[in-house]
Amino acid sequence: MSTQNALLTILIEKINNDTLVLPTLPAIALKVRKAADNPDINLNQMADVVGQDPSLSARMIKIANSAFMGRSVKVNSVSQAVTRVGLVYIKNIATALAMEQLFVSKNDVVADYMKREWDNTVAVVANAMATLQIYVKRTKKRDLSLDTVTLAALVHNIGVLPILTEAERHEEVFANPTFLEVAIEKLSGRIGGSITREWGFGQPFVDIAEYWRDLSVQPENVAYIDFVRIGAVLAGKIENQKDAILNLAIQRGVIEDIHELSSDEFVAMRDVAKQIFD
């Protein structure tokens, strides 16, 4: 049995036996999500929760002051930032900002993959956010939210993490690009579904993590997975399905034509979205 097949077999067995170690959300993200689910929480209490993490606090202020929020008056405190972002959005945005903490490794090969996957994910997020903004502006439909598509795009490829973690544990055998490419393509979707379920995310997030590569899975109405797929195509992640995804997007009314995705307006929105994670 080849090395590739050996680890694939190990991973599949662990998935089937429910023994694969899944990543956990950073503690601050769990705290924010729990607080946001409390119907009695107020903005001051939420600011206290966010303020427990200096990194999250700084990035929340950055978002509040960014073109993403469309405001010109600057804020300089966590309390002001939370007020501006709002309780409706804080749960997903805080989770999104904490996600980067998961993409770390001490092994050089795996660390390179972690950085590449994070950079690719940020590109997918920025493209998906810009596509949704263009869609909302054109259609005037507001049933899909920007903060939710942000989180959906961030977790779309979360299934790579246990694969990379397993490679790090057995680095002398498995930490090589040939294996990692194959394993990620074959197994990351299934693992991603398991992770998002374990994290208690809703079914749309689970479906995106599990099926974003599978074009046979098509929701009846325009959904977040449509924007994640476009984001992935524009990030160069699924070149073999590029034409199919873009044609489907036009048919489903997600975009009017492919020129929307290279317009000055789109590029500006994408660049603003990307700055959130810089």
Task: Return phi, psi of residue 39, to 5°.
Answer: -65, -15
Confidence of residue 2 (pLDDT cuts 50, 70, 90): low
Mean pLDDT across the chain, nearest whole number?
A: 87
125/68: higher pLDDT: 125
In the numeric block, which tokens belong to residue 52?
A: 């427990």
How many other CB atoms sit within 10 Å of the CB of residue 33?
A: 20
Tens-digit pLDDT profile for residues 115-125: 988 999 999 99
pTM of the model: 0.86
Given this model, what pLDDT does residue 138 score?
Answer: 94
Is 94:50 a contact under the CB 8 Å cutoff? yes
CATH class of 103-278: mainly alpha
Distance CA 216, CA 265 (A): 31
For the chain, percent of residues with pLDDT exceeding 70? 92
The predicted pLDDT at position 266 comes to 95
What is the predicted pLDDT for the residue at 122? 93
Select the more confidently predicted residue: 71 or 200: 200
Any idea what DSSP says for residue 102? Answer: G
If pLDDT is split at 50, 70 and 90, which confidence band does 239 have? confident
- In angstroms, what is the C-alpha Rg of the chain? 19
Task: State how far the Cα of 236 lies from the Cα of 244, in Å rounded to an integer.
Answer: 14
Closest CA to 91 of 55, 46, 42: 46
Structure tokens at 59: 């990035």
Cβ within 8 Å of residue 257, ≥6 positions away: 250
Q: How far apart, in whole angstroms, are the C-alpha atoms of residue 217 and residue 207? A: 9
Residue pair 98/26 in contact (Cβ under 8 Å)? The answer is yes
Residue 205, both tokens:
């997030």
Question: CA 129 to CA 146: how far, in whole Å?
Answer: 6
Instruction: Read off the pLDDT band of 221 (50, 70, 90).
Output: very high
Q: Which of 99, 93, 115, 94 is nearest to 196 (CA)?
A: 99
Please report the pLDDT score of residue 1 as a whole number. 47
Among the listed ranges 96-100, 128-132, 134-138, 233-237, which one has the minimum average pLDDT value? 96-100
Q: Mean pLDDT across the stretch 37-61?
A: 89
Q: What is the pLDDT of residues 251-276, one digit of tens each?
A: 999 999 999 999 999 999 999 888 87
Residue 66 CB neighbours (<10 A): 14
Q: pLDDT (tens digit, 9 = 90+) per residue, 160-169?
A: 988 888 777 7
Domain boundaries, the chain: 24-99, 103-278
Q: Are 97 and 56 in contact (CB under 8 A)?
A: yes
Binned at pLDDT 50, 70 and 90, residue 15 comes out as confident
Helix ranges (H only) for 156-257 are 160-169, 171-174, 177-198, 203-211, 224-234, 242-251
- Rounded to whole angstroms, how far apart are CA atoms 266 and 255? 12
Q: For the segment 139-148, what is each residue's pLDDT rounded down to a tens digit?
A: 999 899 888 9
Quick check: 192 and 162 in contact, CB under 8 A? no
Helices and strands in the chain: count of H runs, count of E runs: 15, 0
Cα–Cα distance, 12 to 29 (Å, whole number)? 29
